[in-house]
Amino acid sequence: MKRANSGMTWIQQPHVTAFLQQLAAAPVITHARLDELPASRTREYVRGLLVEHNALPRRDELCARFSDWSEQALERVTSQKNRDIIRRYIRWHHQRRMNQMGEVTQGTFLRAKQSVTVAIELLNWLTERDTELAELTQAHLDRWQAEGPTTRGIASRFLDWATRTSLIDPSLKLQPHRRGTSPRLDAAAQAELVHNLSHTTDINPRDRAAAILVLVFGQQVSDIVQLTWDDVTVTEDLVTVTFGAVEIALTPPLDEPWRELAATPTHHQTAAHPNSNWVFRGGSPGRHIQASTLTHRLSKAFSSRAARLGTLHELTKLAPVAIIAEALGYSPATIDRHALASSANYMEYMSALSTHQSEAGVRSAP
């Protein structure tokens, strides 16, 4: 830590002092002991500090949080039989998947919570109608989906699992969400944003660096936040950023915020990040910034989702699907969907233009 004063100021806050006194009463400090204390941001921050400074072993916090959350979620299931079904869904689908991951991502954690929550809502709805899951019909599904918000479509994840485990009729389906309804940032707005971000020093260089990856290369914020300095190469001539097996070259002036960050990384100046290699460090010790936090910061200038969709939409007009997919690290199927949307818009334009010309010809005929 560059300034010990900062640490002392933090420790002397009443809520921090009270928590540390509780913790000091334990004969041995372990993850289990910390879990017994009331949940709070202070508890998790102290846990992170202890891990970063090797006083506690590292564990997958999101996996542990999901385990705790799921036990509480089970209490919301109104039928014992359905509670057993949800318990199996949690254990053999979500927790098994998490256990197979190197580290559970924020996106996986949130999707799992959302999937379980909606599955519980569906099963409780059936219980209110004296219906077992095995008795579920298409009429039930259609009614349940029609009566509630669009988030009920998320139940398709649970229904897929229920089909694989032979709990329901495999022909049952929810109405799929229509693709292509999300707004896109148009090319002119994107160009203006890129120009402004490339020529300003008023915005945090980390936010500028992230914004360029979204606006120019269509990268997802959830992937950007996981970048480490091992993924970034800075030479006199070029800056490259690697996503998986894909290396993206940043030419001037797009490389400027990355060069600024590389010259002054500041990753060694806090107790929370004594050896951090993250490009986008977070508020929690040793962790990268949450995708939702970075998305919120970027939202002051633009919608990251609209910008990414706009970028992919425009790029599909310029190059074949396979080349774009390989260059940006997307699956060909994903880029193909954007290409189809781009072609559809072009065909609509050509059809409208043809109709306009035909009408004009009729009006000008003698």
How confident is the model over 154-164, as pLDDT tens digits? 999 999 999 99
pLDDT at 82 over 80: yes
CB 62 within 8 A of CB 106: yes
Q: Can you give the pLDDT at residue 341?
A: 62
Could you tell me the residue ranges of all domains in the chain? 14-59, 62-164, 187-315
pLDDT at 357 over 60: no
User: Within 13 A of 82's CA, how many CA atoms are on the CB side?
Assistant: 26
CB 45 within 8 A of CB 23: no
How confident is the model over 308-320, as pLDDT tens digits? 888 888 888 777 7
Q: Residue for token digits 């949940």?
A: 39
Q: Which two tokens stand for residue 253?
A: 């002036």
Sheet holding 232-234, edge to edge: 232-234, 239-243, 246-250
CB 187 within 8 A of CB 318: no
Give the rounded percent of residues in the chain with a pLDDT score beyond 70. 87
Q: Which of 1-15, 118-132, 206-220, 264-278 has the lowest mean pLDDT?
A: 264-278
Average predicted confidence (pLDDT) for the chain: 83
pLDDT at 189 over 70: yes
CATH for the stretch 187-315? 1.10.443.10
Establish whether the linkage from the previous residue to 170 is cis, with ω within 30° of 0: no
pTM for this one? 0.64
Instruction: Indicate the helix (H) or strand (E) that contains 210.
Output: helix 205-217
Q: Can you give the pLDDT at residue 273?
A: 72
Nearest to 191 by CA among 327, 302, 300: 302
Q: Can you give the pLDDT at residue 364?
A: 44
Q: Can you give the pLDDT at residue 98?
A: 92
How confident is the model over 254-299, as pLDDT tens digits? 999 999 998 886 655 567 777 778 899 888 887 888 888 899 999 9
Q: Can you give the pLDDT at residue 3?
A: 64
Q: For 90-112, what is the mean pLDDT?
A: 90
Q: For 137-157, what is the mean pLDDT?
A: 91
Q: Can you give the pLDDT at residue 346?
A: 40
